[in-house]
Structure 1
């Protein structure tokens, strides 16, 4: 999932546990959340942006979810599951008595309907490709059939899913919003407008939506997890400028500024002791990077790519954005399984960079282009990179364009020598290392219109990635993560990227929202895990 730097950053706290997030938390009450823009859709098959991601998660449930505040998979609508020895058959036993907001009990037929719908081309789901391992996907996604042959409702409480190949990420896919279960009769009643009339099994149900003004969620009294949700009501007000929202939060009129702290106000807020007390910083599954087009000279030369890695002062770039990130040295962010804490990568070393350039035959430097999105702070970051490169003899002309034009340039094999990914940098769809490889570093992404803007393709590493994802047996989990760890450090040794920073998320909320451990930033429920929010007063 793509993520814009300094986009919505509000998040709320939770603790681990199967029932109540905070055993001593107060129940009831209402909160107000503000956003600048209206919500695009609340259809789980369609919604794919930072604003509606967590709203959808509070209205709907999937077979799987994550333990609050972690990247650990746990059953949700599923009571249990089994995986066949060959890794090709997943059998889910559903919780009995789970009800949709309209009062009807959910069954295995609803799960099948949901998966059939998400891969049907008429749905136009941006997440359809995640289900490619299911038997019958090719025919269903082509529109040749409206049913996935690999998904069967064995009985009311049993779903069997057969895969065409082992896929260790499959349980993560079952936790994605795209797999959240919907009732067929309501979808068919509203058709394309289901996203404005959502009905799920989630902790909250939507009771009002006035376009351009507000969306209201109210507690689902029949929710299948005891003790959740904590609140009675959430009102999402839209059309609120972030600076106005911040002022309203200071006055106690709202509880969460959904668009986060405006960049222009960040230092002022951090210096205000009253506001700073209500800010929580947390990591997320994000990496911002510079791509080096390995198919364009001189970046087809490994020493040149290594030199560029050594030329960039990442600490200075982090200072430019007021410390809202931590320097990166590898593609994976620190929270991601497979991140190698012992990997040093390329240290900032301008003199070493000059020596490598001389060895590569570019002792006098060279001229190139650096593409960047034209929205602040991206051009300022690009100027810092430009200065760092000039210090080692590389003259980089900045091409500051609309984000869509930068993306288009990256998808052309011989157009963009370098791209600063800020505003378009990668944030994981799910907490598994494979999601940071295939789309942006694998051979499959190095295609016209793809997201692998370095056009890096190492067939041997690609084979290792496929083999890692075929380790679907839970007993192979540690071996699989170790395999991915070595894949990413081997990739970075070949320097198709300059990993620059891992963006931090800063949450600002009212003093009413607090718990024994404060307010946490959840790595998966982006930006807010509303189910576990409660009022401390």
Structure 2
């Protein structure tokens, strides 16, 4: 592209907050610009070249830039550019392909994996990727404090279920006593009793065999045994039980490999504390700064996959990611050419974007929005009350009114892409049935707290306030009174609704990291005792056993049975499988959308930003 003097950045760009930062950032990336550029042809010809710059607005700032100890996609948005994983995701199929490991083998019993690393891969600090570097990362994850491990939702502890214990199944007598009080049980209660009795019989048979082998450094149901370097570029990973989804799970952003130099020097609880603010990986972009609410990334000149860059000569050389919580402010910034694109397009601004000829890129649905129902609340503890809520909420209307076209209402917590059939008796919208259930319970309109987030858009919840309002209206129509509790996302919304101190209704969701039912169920139910006031050793046992079954009919049947348990217990009401989308100006000619949000800016194709280059 032609070289342009910095003076040609538009006046409006220099007057806006976001672009003032952009202009300063561009000055920094050009090195020493020399004397101020003049309008003369000679000065223009000698001015430093302005790099192709992608200015993207996100819905929230990153929490931390260490993917091993965070759970939010805004943090992963940044870390996916800076770090890489042993295994990558095929953008076309969503399956596993070579990443930092160019190949791997699995032992016949499924308990040993050997990874062959690529040679010549450099971290951003100039050191080489070796087997010892990979082992150092695994050792770091293994030795994280339980509190830090729990703060991650797509990392080591989740992949290997590191802190899990083998559930203790109830005896048939204990299960019988659970239902003794229901002498005048309803048909639904009797059906639930029969289901659980049958499940217990099947699970007891499978618990007769030895479940895990070898020693565990953590829980008795941890799949991780050990990792070691068997050569300069060879890593051996040993398991305590077969884990068929392991290779796909290694694509999760929390399994990113960081430079060993950054894994030490911090406090005892987290020696790699510096990664929270200054990530160091092997990815195509290096982290430069996070200032004035803008993250700046620059292309890594020694990136190992040079063909990826040379085959796409229009990739961004600089990326500036700013946090703009309001979807309307993001829309305004795009229309004013202050940014090149933004994420979390909401249905109410879609028409404006189309009228202004903006490019909208949609992702296939691979997330779920749900309504949590905490059973520590005296009314939510009653199965009939939770069922009344399930009949009260019009999920189809919710999907049609407040989500992008193509979004579907959810019958279960698992997206249809996973091909797990829903139970036949999933509750549908039936206000009269909801009223009947409430009347039979003797509910007199006691208030129930209902939490929802503010100042944020999530791919599973683009319009939190309006979603809350519609659900509250549905509940009011059948006589359920709620007490609104709005909480700003950045004020600890997730921590609040997943704490033992909250007991009510809440909105939350989950975005799948790889194509696995276990990823969804384990992620959503990880904090179920606090978030939903719900425990079930039967469910825990079902999930633990299902994850070790290879793909096929038996595995599908196992997960279908799990959905029956969740349908009967109803700790959370699935609401919508949303389609999420990004919007761009015409200078972005290609963006690689990913249902798993594995979107690398090195694959973006663009001209420079209009207000920067003209």
Instruction: Output aligned runs, 1:441-452, within 5 Å.
Output: 441=525, 445-447=527-529, 450-451=530-531
Pairwise CA distance, 1:221: 4.8
Equivalent in the alignment of 1:17: none
1:389 paired with 2:468, answer no
Distance 1:466 1:276, change over 3 A: farther
CA distance in structure 2 between the aligned counterparts of 1:398 and 1:369, rounded to whole angstroms = 6
Structure 1 ranges of 4+ moved more than 6 A: 134-137
* Aligned partners of 2:105 and 2:113 also within 8 Å: yes
Equivalent in the alignment of 1:77: 100
Higher helix share: 2
Instruction: Output aligned runs, 1:394-413, within 5 Å.
Output: 394-402=479-487, 404=492, 408=496, 411-412=499-500
Higher RCO structure (Cα 8 Å, ≥6 apart): 1
Pairwise CA distance, 1:69: 5.0
Equivalent in the alignment of 2:544: 466
Instruction: Output aligned runs, 1:18-417, within 5 Å.
Output: 29-35=52-58, 39-68=62-91, 70-121=93-144, 124=148, 126-127=151-152, 128-130=156-158, 132=160, 138=217, 150-188=226-264, 192-207=273-288, 210=291, 212-224=293-305, 226-228=307-309, 230=312, 231-238=315-322, 243=328, 245-258=330-343, 260-261=344-345, 267-275=348-356, 277-294=358-375, 297-318=378-399, 321=402, 323=404, 325-335=407-417, 337-340=418-421, 345-357=426-438, 361-362=440-441, 367-373=446-452, 375=454, 377-392=463-478, 394-402=479-487, 404=492, 408=496, 411-412=499-500, 416=503
- Say which SS state the counterpart of residue 217 (structure 2) adopts: helix
- Say which SS state the counterpart of residue 395 (structure 1) adopts: coil
Distance 1:364 1:182, change over 3 A: closer
Q: Which has the larger radius of gyration?
A: 2
- Say which SS state the counterpart of residue 408 (structure 2) adopts: strand
Pairwise CA distance, 1:366: 5.4
Distance 1:529 1:488, change over 3 A: farther
Instruction: Output aligned runs, 1:419-498, within 5 Å.
Output: 419-421=505-507, 424-441=508-525, 445-447=527-529, 450-451=530-531, 453=532, 455-471=533-549, 473=550, 476=551, 479-498=554-573
* Aligned partners of 2:59 and 2:323 also within 8 Å: yes
Pairwise CA distance, 1:166: 2.8
* Aligned partners of 2:450 and 2:506 also within 8 Å: yes
CA distance in structure 2 between the aligned counterparts of 1:238 and 1:277, rounded to whole angstroms = 19
* Aligned partners of 1:78 and 1:92 also within 8 Å: yes
Pairwise CA distance, 1:509: 1.2
Higher mean displacement: 268-277 or 498-507 = 268-277
CA distance in structure 2 between the aligned counterparts of 1:465 and 1:149, rounded to whole angstroms = 20
Distance 1:111 1:269, change over 3 A: same
Pairwise CA distance, 1:408: 4.0
CA distance in structure 2 between the aligned counterparts of 1:176 and 1:446, rounded to whole angstroms = 22
Pairwise CA distance, 1:119: 2.9
CA deviation string 1:483-519 (max 9, x = no partner): 223322442244333211123212101212234xxx4
CA distance in structure 1 between the aligned counterparts of 2:65 and 2:385, rounded to whole angstroms = 47
Equivalent in the alignment of 2:595: 523
CA deviation string 1:209-266 (max 9, x = no partner): 65645513214454237334731512315366755553443344532225x44x6xx5
* Aligned partners of 1:136 and 1:150 also within 8 Å: no
Pairwise CA distance, 1:161: 1.0
Pairwise CA distance, 1:63: 0.8
Higher mean displacement: 505-514 or 402-411 = 402-411
CA distance in structure 1 between the aligned counterparts of 2:297 and 2:468, rounded to whole angstroms = 41
Pairwise CA distance, 1:172: 3.6
* Aligned partners of 1:317 and 1:384 also within 8 Å: yes
CA distance in structure 2 between the aligned counterparts of 1:268 and 1:48, rounded to whole angstroms = 28
CA distance in structure 1 between the aligned counterparts of 2:445 and 2:606, rounded to whole angstroms = 59
* Aligned partners of 1:35 and 1:236 also within 8 Å: no
CA distance in structure 1 between the aligned counterparts of 2:410 and 2:285, rounded to whole angstroms = 38
CA distance in structure 2 between the aligned counterparts of 1:201 and 1:296, rounded to whole angstroms = 48
Pairwise CA distance, 1:72: 1.5
* Aligned partners of 1:118 and 1:179 also within 8 Å: no
CA distance in structure 1 between the aligned counterparts of 2:283 and 2:375, rounded to whole angstroms = 46
CA deviation string 1:113-141 (max 9, x = no partner): 1111223237945335235457876369x
- Say which SS state the counterpart of residue 504 (structure 1) adopts: coil
* Aligned partners of 1:119 and 1:137 also within 8 Å: no
CA distance in structure 1 between the aligned counterparts of 2:376 and 2:394, rounded to whole angstroms = 25
CA distance in structure 1 between the aligned counterparts of 2:61 and 2:534, rounded to whole angstroms = 38
- Say which SS state the counterpart of residue 282 (structure 2) adopts: coil
CA distance in structure 2 between the aligned counterparts of 1:184 and 1:151, rounded to whole angstroms = 16
Higher mean displacement: 111-120 or 274-283 = 274-283
CA deviation string 1:442-489 (max 9, x = no partner): xx7443xx33x1x34443333221111122x5xx45532442233224
Pairwise CA distance, 1:406: 7.8
- Say which SS state the counterpart of residue 289 (structure 1) adopts: strand
Q: Which runs of 5+ in 1 are unaligned?
A: 1-27, 141-147
CA distance in structure 2 between the aligned counterparts of 1:282 and 1:71, rounded to whole angstroms = 12
Higher mean displacement: 29-38 or 89-98 = 29-38
